[in-house]
């Protein structure tokens, strides 16, 4: 009897909010989760605490990855996982158990896995136990938070959770066709091309396909289910230059549908391009310290905007901490600078997750609804060069309350992290690419410099190891630059007054940050498009795993009046005593 009553109660609640899909179309997962969610409202502890908000998520993943090197498969594995997340909030929207340093610690359910088959009863059983743990953790966290607040003064009152209207977005499940054999062959064949570039002693091709059904439900009545797929072909290679310096590069080709991955001949061209650039880099001369005009073209321009603007569009909030133990929380360089002019007034930047395609190129940052069930709309973040909007989640931050649907990654202290989607950098005043180059050369001559610099690619996402990043950051801090890292320029060309170009290696930016954008004096009339996978970090690693977000940046080439770069000075590792083995095959 009891089961039956619950079923009806659940159906009624759903019926009120969701007219899009009938209960039958929703399937056992939505049904089981909705019913357990509903029952969980009755949780109570200490006669006082009951949940005012509960949310359930589920990522239902079918994944496959093949890794190959020099024509041989290193691994080729399918993964089938269902990852649940449960969050319980006690207290109220004004004050709850989140935004406290131990919010994540209590009631954590890390590593939980769900059964792979759709059994209504078993699904409810698992969410029952997860919710129980999350609720008890929430009660403990709010008690400790109240006690911590007795000993610290909080400078301002900000609510803990913003209200949002319930949404219903239940999309149909699409069929999944893994095509393991095809992807494996692709990885093997692309990797075999490196036999033509024997100077590159390390190389690898990774082909990954991930079909994911994302579910989200909360006690406000939101019901979400949509497909969130990602396909990647990633190429990496490296070697040591004659002076010992490690030279590496990577390239990622991404898509949200398998059909949008370029056909094999196009991918082969990309492999050859990467391989020959790297081979040229190995023998290129080391660059010298430079201060002067710099033209940022091709991938380098969107990569730059991803770091300097994209990574600074989310505001963070300091959690309530124990006295004397304030954790360092990374903050945006644009914090507190609403309305400040950071770019020329003929530039605007828009974040638009509603677009799926731009000029025939599939956009990676598209998403229909965020992790908190809020539907996003296009947002002008920079208008006439000035800061207009920040990316917001349901977590209120100083000066802002109310989500604009940008919660795309799990965050810290019970909140979600806002990150950009498709970033469109627009210039209302433009010049042709040739004019830009001519401007550069004119400035070079004017200032009596022997050459100018053109940068075409940055190491973003980065191939650097965590050790190398630490060294880079420390070195940057020592020279008076920001310790906040920006990606190393990979393809840097000296351009001489006669127009001739020469590739150099081993350079890095000095003091590059948001303020540098004020030195942009011109932009091209061309679009450079760059896709990448991020994890919320301003400098994500290439091939990052875990919870990720897709991004596309569209930006014109830009001319900087003044940028500083210097030569990387380090003790490079010695070259191997034993020469590399001779390669046997090359088809």
Partner 1 sequence: MLKLFSLFLLVTGGSFAQSPLLGLLSEELHRNFQVLSRKADPPAYYIAYAVTDQETANVSATLGVITGNDRRKMRVLDVTVRVGTPALDNYHTIRGEMGHFTAGIPIALDDSPDAIKLKLWSETDRCYRLAAQRLINIRTNKEVRVADKEDSHDFSREQPEKFAAEAPRLLFDDAAWAARMRKLSAPFAKYPSILNSGLAVTAQREVKYLVNTEGTRVSHGQPFSRVTIQAQAKASDGMDLATFDAFTAADPANLPKDAEIAAAVDKVASDLNQLLDAPLVDPFVGPAILSGRAAGVFFHEIFGHRVEGHRLKDESDGQTFAKSVGSPVLPEFISVTFDPTLRQAAGEDLNGFYAFDDEGVKARRVTLVDGGILKTFLMSRTPVPGFESSNGHGRRQPGAEVVARQSNLLVESTKQVPEARLKEMLLEEIKRQNKPYGFYFQEITGGFTNTGRRGIQAFKVIPLVVYRVYADGKQELVRGADIVGTPLASFNKIIATGQKLEVFNGYCGAESGNVPVSAVSPSILVSELEVQKKESSRDRPPLLSPPVISTGASK
Residues in touch with partner 1 (CB under 8 A): 2-3, 6, 28, 35-36, 39-40, 42-45, 67, 69-80, 113-122, 124-125, 128-129, 132, 135-136, 195, 201-202, 573-574, 576-581, 583-585
**Residue 578 C-beta: closest distance to partner 1, Å:** 4
Please say which residue, 78 or 329, places its beta carbon nearer to partner 1.
78
Please say which residue, 130 or 379, places its beta carbon nearer to partner 1.
130
Cβ-based neighbour number of residue 203 at 10 Å: 23
C-alpha dihedral (464, 465, 466, 471), degrees to nearest 10:
-70
Contacts 24+ apart (CB under 8 A), 326-330: 327/101, 330/538
Please say which residue, 127 or 231, places its beta carbon nearer to partner 1.
127
Closest CA to 325 of 130, 550, 151, 460: 151
Q: Roughly how many angstroms between the first and final C-alpha of the chain, as a whole number?
A: 70
**Residue 142 C-beta: closest distance to partner 1, Å:** 16
Which H/E stretch holds residue 180?
Answer: helix 180-192
DSSP 403-421: --S-EEEE-STT-EEE---
**Residue in the structure block whose two tokens are 């340093």:** 101
**Residue 1 C-beta: closest distance to partner 1, Å:** 11
Please say which residue, 82 or 416, places its beta carbon nearer to partner 1.
82
Please say which residue, 116 or 329, places its beta carbon nearer to partner 1.
116
Please say which residue, 127 or 424, places its beta carbon nearer to partner 1.
127
Which H/E stretch holds residue 4?
Answer: helix 2-17
Task: Answer yes or no: are the C-beta atoms of 366 and 423 closer than 8 Å.
Answer: no
Please say which residue, 154 or 578, places its beta carbon nearer to partner 1.
578
**Residue 583 C-beta: closest distance to partner 1, Å:** 5
CA distance 112 to 309: 35
What is the 3-class SS of 247-283, one letter each residue?
EEEEEEEEECCHHHCCCHHHHHHHHHHHHHHHHHHHH
Instruction: Take residue 39 and report the two structure tokens written for it.
Output: 């029952």
**Residue 265 C-beta: closest distance to partner 1, Å:** 23
CA distance 178 to 186: 14
**β-strands 407-410, 361-362 pairing:** unpaired
Please say which residue, 77 or 276, places its beta carbon nearer to partner 1.
77
Task: Answer yes or no: are the C-beta atoms of 281 and 503 closer than 8 Å.
Answer: yes
**Residue 359 C-beta: closest distance to partner 1, Å:** 39
Which H/E stretch holds residue 132?
Answer: helix 120-149
Please say which residue, 46 or 154, places its beta carbon nearer to partner 1.
46
Please say which residue, 6 or 469, places its beta carbon nearer to partner 1.
6
**Residue in the structure block whose two tokens are 């979600």:** 416
**Residue 192 C-beta: closest distance to partner 1, Å:** 9
Please say which residue, 76 or 380, places its beta carbon nearer to partner 1.
76
**Residue 6 C-beta: closest distance to partner 1, Å:** 8
Burial of 486 (0-12, 13-18, 19+ CB in 10 A): buried
Instruction: Take residue 6 and report the two structure tokens written for it.
Output: 């619950």
CA distance 79 to 26: 25
DSSP 308-322: HTGGGSB---PPB--
**Residue 452 C-beta: closest distance to partner 1, Å:** 38
**Residue 81 C-beta: closest distance to partner 1, Å:** 9
Please say which residue, 48 or 154, places its beta carbon nearer to partner 1.
48
**Residue 170 C-beta: closest distance to partner 1, Å:** 17
Closest CA to 339 of 305, 384, 308: 384
**Residue 196 C-beta: closest distance to partner 1, Å:** 12
**β-strands 452-458, 422-427 pairing:** unpaired
**Residue 537 C-beta: closest distance to partner 1, Å:** 25
89: three-class secondary structure by DSSP = strand
Please say which residue, 107 or 538, places its beta carbon nearer to partner 1.
107
Closest CA to 523 of 406, 409, 425: 425
**Chain center to CA of 326:** 26
**Residue 120 C-beta: closest distance to partner 1, Å:** 6
Task: Answer yes or no: are the C-beta atoms of 428 and 346 closer than 8 Å.
Answer: yes
Please say which residue, 201 or 430, places its beta carbon nearer to partner 1.
201
State the number of CA atoms in the 13 A half-sphere of 566 facing the CB.
Answer: 12
């Amino acid at each position: 009897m009891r089961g039956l009553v619950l079923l009806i109660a659940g159906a009624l609640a759903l019926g009120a909010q969701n007219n899009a899909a009938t209960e039958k179309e929703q399937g056992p997962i939505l049904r089981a989760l909705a019913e357990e969610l509903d029952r969980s409202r009755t949780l109570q502890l200490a006669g006082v605490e009951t949940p005012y908000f509960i949310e359930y998520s589920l990522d239902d993943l079918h994944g496959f990855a093949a890794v190959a090197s020099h024509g041989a498969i290193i691994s080729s594995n399918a993964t089938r996982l269902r990852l649940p997340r449960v969050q319980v909030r006690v207290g109220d929207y004004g004050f709850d158990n989140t935004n406290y340093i131990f919010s994540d610690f209590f009631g954590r359910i890390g590593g939980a896995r769900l059964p792979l088959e759709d059994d209504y009863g078993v699904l409810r059983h698992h969410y029952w136990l997860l919710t129980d743990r999350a609720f008890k953790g929430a009660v403990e966290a709010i008690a400790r938070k109240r006690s911590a607040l007795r000993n610290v003064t909080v400078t301002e009152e900000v609510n803990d959770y913003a209200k949002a209207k319930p949404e219903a977005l239940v999309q149909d499940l699409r069929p999944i066709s893994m095509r393991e054999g095809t992807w494996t062959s692709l990885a093997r064949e692309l990797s075999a091309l490196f036999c033509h570039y024997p100077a590159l002693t390390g190389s690898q091709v990774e082909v990954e396909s991930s079909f994911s059904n994302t579910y989200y439900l909360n006690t406000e009545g939101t019901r979400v289910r949509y497909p969130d797929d990602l396909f990647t072909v990633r190429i990496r290679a490296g070697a040591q230059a004659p002076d010992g310096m490690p030279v590496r590069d990577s390239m990622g080709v991404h898509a949200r549908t398998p059909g949008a991955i370029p056909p094999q001949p196009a991918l082969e061209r990309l492999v050859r391009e990467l391989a020959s650039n790297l081979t040229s880099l190995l023998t290129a001369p080391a660059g010298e310290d430079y201060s002067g005009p710099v033209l940022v073209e091709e991938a380098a321009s969107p990569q730059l905007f991803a770091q300097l603007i994209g990574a600074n569009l989310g505001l963070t909030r300091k959690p309530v901490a124990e006295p004397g133990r304030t954790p360092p929380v990374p903050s945006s360089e644009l914090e507190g600078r609403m309305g400040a002019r950071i770019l020329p007034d003929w530039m605007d930047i828009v974040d638009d997750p509603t677009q799926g395609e731009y000029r025939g190129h599939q956009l990676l940052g598209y998403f229909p609804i965020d992790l908190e069930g809020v539907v996003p709309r296009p947002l002008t973040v920079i208008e006439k060069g000035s800061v207009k909007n920040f990316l917001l989640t349901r977590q209120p931050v100083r000066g802002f309350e109310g989500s604009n649907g940008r919660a795309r990654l799990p965050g810290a202290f019970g909140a979600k992290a806002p990150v950009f989607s498709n970033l469109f950098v627009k210039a209302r005043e433009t010049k042709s690419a040739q004019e830009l180059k001519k401007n550069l050369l004119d400035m070079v001559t004017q200032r009596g410099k022997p050459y100018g610099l053109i940068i075409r690619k940055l190491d973003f996402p980065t191939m650097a190891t965590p050790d190398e990043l630490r060294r880079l950051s420390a070195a940057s801090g020592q020279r008076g630059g920001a310790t906040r890292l920006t990606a190393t320029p990979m393809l840097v060309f000296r351009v001489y007054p006669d127009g001739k170009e020469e590739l150099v290696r081993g350079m890095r930016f000095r003091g590059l940050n948001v303020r540098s954008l004020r030195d942009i004096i011109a932009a091209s009339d061309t679009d450079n498009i760059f896709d990448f996978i991020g994890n919320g970090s301003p400098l994500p690693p290439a091939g990052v795993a875990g919870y990720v977000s897709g991004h596309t940046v569209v930006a014109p080439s830009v001319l900087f009046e003044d940028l500083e770069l210097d030569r990387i000075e380090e003790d490079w590792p010695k070259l191997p005593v034993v020469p590399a083995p001779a390669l046997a095959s090359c088809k």
